[in-house]
Amino acid sequence: MTWQETYQLWQDQKDMIPYIKSELNQMESDPDALKEAFSEPMTFGTAGMRGLMGPGIGRMNVYTIRQATEGVARFMDTLSADEKKRGVAISFDSRYHSEEFAHEAAMVLGAHGIQSFVFDDLRPTPELSFAVRHLNTYAGIMITASHNPKQYNGFKIYGPDGGQMPPVESDKITEYVQSATDLFAIQTVAEPQLREDGIMHIIGEDVDLPYLQNVESVTINHELLAEVAPTMKLVYTPLHGTGKVIGERALRGAGFKDFTMVPEQAIADPEFPTVPFPNPEFPEAFDLAIQMGKQEGADLLVATDPDADRLGAAVRLPNGDYQLMSGNQIASVLLNYILTARQEAHDLPANGRVVKSIVSTDLATKIAASFGIETVDVLTGFKFIAEQIKNYEETGDHTFLFGFEESYGYLIKPFVRDKDAIQSTVLLAEVAAYYAKRGMTLYDGIQELYQKYGYYDEKTISQDFPGLDGKVKMSALMTSFRDHKPTAFNGVKVVSTEDFETQVKTNDVTGETSNIELPQSNVLKFWLEDGSWICIRPSGTEPKIKFYVGTHAADAQTAAAQLEGYEQALKDYVEQEEN
C-alpha cells in the first residue's frame, strides 16, 4: 500500500476517536508530516517502540498502541495456559497520553483474556521491571519516551525476567504485531467490565513497599550512613517525571533527611516546562537544581529523567559552584565503591562480572581488572545487560556485580533488570557520604581514580537527522564511513575496525579479520594506535547519529587535548563526506 492509500484508509474511518480525527484533519496542510506518518510502521529500536505522537501508522497513538499490544497478546496466546495466566504488568510516565495508552494496552490484553496489573498512577521504569519479577507476570509494558522531548511517547516491552526483550524475543513480537494489519479492527474490552471480571488489577503501594525495601538493600555501610546521611545536604529533581514520590521515599529510607526537591520540577507535567529536554545528560537539566543548591548549600545535586531510569549528578566545589559529572564518572565511582566494599567484606566472588556497553568508559574495565574482575562489553541498550544477568543466573557461571552505560544508566542489584536511577541515587548518595567523611567530594573521588588508573576522558556528540529524509542521510553517512574508511584521526592511525553490521573485526595493520560475537547492529568502532576509540551509530531512540570518543592519557590536559583533536577530526570527516 502506498502512503497515500494508508492515509486515505485513516481518513475513511467513520468511528475514529474524535481527538485523533481532528489531529488528522490538522495534518492535511503538511504533506511532509503526512508522508512521514503514513509511510512506515513503528518498529522496535534500542528501547522498544518510540516515536512522535500523532495520527498515522508511524506515530505513537491509541491505534498503534493497540496494534503493539495486540502483537504481545497474540504472542501470549501461543504460550502454555500457565504462562499466559501470569498476565502483564503495566506502568506509565507523566507524558501526554501515557495513562490513556497504558489503559488501552490493558483493554487489548483483556480482549484476549490476559490479566493486567496496572499502576494506579505514574511509576518509574525500574519499578515496572521490578513489578514483573515481584508479581511473576509473563511480560511488562512501560509507556514512556524516557528523556525524549515532549512530543514523543513510547512502549517498552519486558519479558518474564523483568528485562527489556532482546532482539530475538522482540522480533517474535514484531511478527505478531505486523500480523495485526487492521488497526481499526483490534478488539478491546471496556475497563469496568475487565475489573468486574477480575482481569484488570490496579496496583500501587503493594508494589512500592517491596520495591523500596529492595532499594534499601543496595546501601552498604550502615554505620557510615547513620553518621553522615542525616546532615548531608542534597537537592533532588525528578524533572517533572515519575521519580518524585519514589525517589524521595528511597532517599529517606536510606537515612538522607536533609534534602530538598526542586518544587517546580516535582510537579509531573507533560510540558516539561522548565527544561528544554528532560534529560540529565544535558547541563540545562541542572539549572534549577543548581540555583536551589546554592541557596541551600547542598553538597550533591541529583536529577532523574521522566521515567527515572537515568541519573545525573553535580557536586559542590570549594568555590560554591557545581561540577556536573558524566555518566561514565558516576558509574566509575559507584563501581569502585561496590568492589572495594565487597573486597573488604571478603564477599567479592571470583566469578563476578561487570557489564557495560561498547561505548562506555574503559576506566571501569581497568578498575574491575584491578580487583581481578572481568568486564563484558555488550551493544548499546540495557536489554543486553539484562540478558547477561539472565545468562549468569541460568548457567550459574558468573555473578553480576554492576552494569552501566555512558548514557547515565546504572544497575547495582538485579531485583530490577533495567537501569535504575532510584537504587543508583541511593548508592551514589552513600558514596558521596563516604567521600564527605574523608573531606572529599564525589568529584575528588573520580580524580583519585584518574590518578590511580590514568585519565580517561569521553564524549558523546549527536547530530540530528529528523524526518524520512534524515533516515536516508544517516544511512548515507554510515555508508561513507564504510566506503571511505578513515585511516587516521588527527594524525593517529586507525589500527583496527569493528563493524558490528558485518560482525567482523579487521586488524588494519595486518589485514587479519575475526568474528565479533555480538548481535548484528549498525555500529562502527575504530580503535587508534594510542588506545583511543571512536564509535559511530544511529540512535535507536531518536532521529540522530551518535559519535562517541574515548581516550586516556597520563594527565588530564593531555587526555582533554586528545579528545578535542579527535572530535575535530571527526567533525571534519563528516563535513567533508556530507559535501
Which chain residues interact with ligand G16 by CB under 6 A?
46-47, 146-147, 309-310, 380-382, 405, 407, 409, 539-542, 546
Q: Which of 254, 246, 262 is nearest to 309 (CA)?
A: 246
Measure the CA–CA gap between 330 and 325, rounded to whole angstroms: 6
Least distance between ligand G16 and beta carbon 359 (Å): 8
Least separation in angstroms between residue 424's CB and ligand G16 is 13
- Taking the C-alpha atoms of residue 419 and residue 385, their distance in angstroms, rounded to an integer, is 9
Out of ligand G16, Mg ion, none, what residue 498 binds, judged by CB under 5 to 8 A for its kind, is none
Q: Pairing relation of β-strands 88-92 and 492-499?
A: unpaired
Q: From the list Mg ion, ligand G16, none, which binds 459 (C-beta under 5 to 8 Å, kind-based)?
A: none
Q: Which of 386, 246, 378, 348 is nearest to 304 (CA)?
A: 246
Contact predicate 26/7, CB 8 Å: no
Q: Is 405 in the site for Mg ion (CB under 5 A)?
A: no
**From the CB of 406, what's the least distance to ligand G16, in Å?**
8
Q: Is the dihedral angle over the CA atoms 416, 420, 422, 427 positive or is it negative?
A: positive
Angle of CA points 45, 400, 518, to nearest 5°: 40
Report the chain's C-alpha Rg in angstroms: 24
- The least distance separating ligand G16 from the CB of residue 385, rounded to whole angstroms, comes to 8
Judged by beta carbon distances under 5 to 8 A according to partner kind, the member of ligand G16, Mg ion, none in contact with residue 47 is ligand G16
Residue closest to Mg ion (Cβ)? 146
CA pair distance 109, 257, nearest whole angstrom: 42
Contacting residue, 93, 169, 269, 309, with Mg ion by CB under 5 A: 309
CB atoms within 10 A of CB 291: 12
Backbone angles phi, psi at 50, to 5 degrees: -150, 135
Q: Among residues 127 and 405, whose Cβ is nearest to ligand G16?
A: 405
Quick one: what does residue 163 bind among Mg ion, ligand G16, none, with the CB cut-off 5 to 8 Å set by partner type? none
- Find out whether 548 and 541 touch, Cβ atoms under 8 Å: no
Distance of closest approach, residue 459 Cβ to ligand G16, in angstroms: 14
Q: CB-wise, 128 or 363, nearer to ligand G16?
A: 128
Judged by beta carbon distances under 5 to 8 A according to partner kind, the member of ligand G16, Mg ion, none in contact with residue 541 is: ligand G16
* Cβ contact 69:109 at 8 Å: yes
**What is the number of alpha carbons within 13 Å of residue 542 lying toward its C-beta?**
16
* Residue from 70, 161, 305, 458 binding Mg ion (CB under 5 A): 305
Q: Which is nearer to Mg ion, 146 or 237 (CB)?
A: 146
Number of residues this chain uses to bind Mg ion (CB under 5 A): 5
Which residues are paired to 553 by β-bridges? Answer: 455
Distance, in Å, from the CA atom of 399 to the CA atom of 28, rounded to the nearest integer, reads: 56
269 binds, among ligand G16, Mg ion, none (CB under 5 to 8 A by kind): none
- The one catalytic residue in 91, 116, 129, 146 is 146
Which of the listed partners (ligand G16, Mg ion, none) does 380 bind, with a CB threshold of 5 to 8 Å by partner kind?
A: ligand G16
CA distances (Å), 191 to each of 52, 118, 201, in order?
26, 11, 10
Closer CB to ligand G16, residue 47 or residue 132? 47
Q: Which three cell numbers stand for residue 65?
A: 498502541
Q: Give CA separation, 316 vs 124, 296, 302, 440, 483, in Å.
A: 27, 11, 12, 10, 47
Contact partner at residue 97 from Mg ion, ligand G16, none, CB < 5 to 8 Å by partner kind? none
* Residue 539 touches Mg ion, criterion: CB under 5 A: no
**Four-point Cα dihedral 23, 24, 25, 30, nearest 10:** 100
375 binds, among Mg ion, ligand G16, none (CB under 5 to 8 A by kind): none
Q: 3-class SS at 138?
A: coil
Report whether 434 contacts 223 (CB < 8 A): no
Query: How far is 256 from 436, CA to CA, in rounded Å?
Result: 14
**In the complex, minimum distance from the CB of residue 460 to ligand G16, in angstroms, rounded to a whole number:** 9
- Structural contact between residues 411 and 356, judged by C-beta atoms closer than 8 angstroms: no
> Strands 259-261, 300-304: parallel, antiparallel or unpaired by DSSP?
unpaired
| Helices 18-27 and 31-39: angle between axes, nearest 10 degrees | 130
Nearer CB in complex with Mg ion: 154/352: 154
Query: Cβ of residue 456: shortest distance to ligand G16, in angstroms?
Result: 19
In whole angstroms, the minimum distance from the beta carbon of 579 to ligand G16 comes to 26
Pick 304 or 532: Cβ nearer Mg ion: 304
Instruction: Please report how the helices 125-134 and 421-437 are oriented relative to each other, as an axis angle in degrees rounded to 10.
Output: 110
CB of 275 to ligand G16, least distance (A): 15
The answer to whether residue 146 is catalytic is yes
Question: How near is the Cβ of 399 to ligand G16 at its closest, in Å?
Answer: 22
**In terms of CB distance, is 70 or 281 closer to Mg ion?**
281
Cell numbers at 395, concatenated: 548457567
Part of the chain binding Mg ion (CB under 5 A), chosen from 151-159, 300-308, 347-355, 428-436 = 300-308
Mutual angle of helices 442-453 and 363-370, in 10-degree steps: 70
Pick one of Mg ion, ligand G16, none as the site partner of residue 169 (Cβ within 5 to 8 A by kind): none
What does the CA dihedral 446, 449, 450, 451 come to, rounded to 10 degrees? 120
Among 104, 208, 281, 307, binds Mg ion (CB under 5 A): 307
Taking CB under 5 A as the criterion, which residues in 117-156 touch Mg ion?
146
Q: Report the interface residues with Mg ion, using CB under 5 A.
A: 146, 305, 307, 309-310
Q: Which residues are catalytic?
A: 146
